[in-house]
A and B are shown apart, each in its own frame.
Chain A
Amino acid sequence: GNSVTQMEGPVTLSEEAFLTINCTYTATGYPSLFWYVQYPGEGLQLLLKATKADDKGSNKGFEATYRKETTSFHLEKGSVQVSDSAVYFCALSDLGSARQLTFGSGTQLTVLP
């Protein structure tokens, strides 16, 4: 079956530090990959996506590249801000499995001023 494995948190960084949150996946088909962000007390918001191998998704300074050879979709940002503090979820949607969305366990990020 499909699965998503995220790096364990929590992650604590200082403002302007470089961020990497690792994500690897297992899928039987040809998945689309997503990063969602959840701010305290809110629902999940789509941060970025990639629908095929070598695609790079980007939004708000965050980037992730769909690497089929390593089955990875690591999230990166060059300079984090306090406002980036949230929980980040990696997810996949497998086109071969009726589009069910599979989530990783989430990574809590705290950015200190």
Chain B
Amino acid sequence: DAGVIQSPRHEVTEMGQEVTLRCKPISGHDYLFWYRQTMMRGLELLIYFNNNVPIDDSGMPEDRFSAKMPNASFSTLKIQPSEPRDSAVYFCASGHRSYGYTFGSGTRLTVV
């Protein structure tokens, strides 16, 4: 089991550019979460999916952020246009029922 796979590990982009973060969850997991982590705000839930359907996106900061899960093995988080305040580590996590959730290694995003 390769775990939750996120790409890229690091992303540096200029303000105004589009950024796409990718996540491959663990096979068989029916929940997928996107989190953002910063020193100031800690861990913030952005959105989560159940069986590929978005359930709660109330944590998405604004319309510049969007997330999709076209199938059970892939999800994307897109920021368009990106801003310096979006700089953070973005984590994807997947899980099944109440047995805990497995996190990916994260994508460190820097917007300059």
Contact = CB atoms under 8 A, between A and B. Distances in A.
A58 interface: no
B7 interface: no
Given A42-B105, A43-B106, A44-B91, A100 B45 contact: yes
A102 to B, nearest CB: 8
A42 B107 CA distance: 10
Chain A interface size, as a band, is 20 to 34
A101 B101 contact: yes
A95 B31 CA distance: 13
B42 A106 contact: yes
Nearest to B97: A99
Given A93-B98, A99-B31, A101-B93, A43 B42 contact: no
Given A32-B98, A100-B56, A101-B93, A106 B43 contact: yes
A51 B100 CA distance: 10
Given A44-B91, A99-B31, A49 B100 contact: yes
Nearest to B56: A100
B105 A43 contact: yes
B66 interface: no
B102 to A, nearest CB: 7
Nearest to A102: B45
Contacts of A45: 103
A37 B98 CA distance: 18
A46 B104 CA distance: 12
Contacts of A44: 91, 93, 103
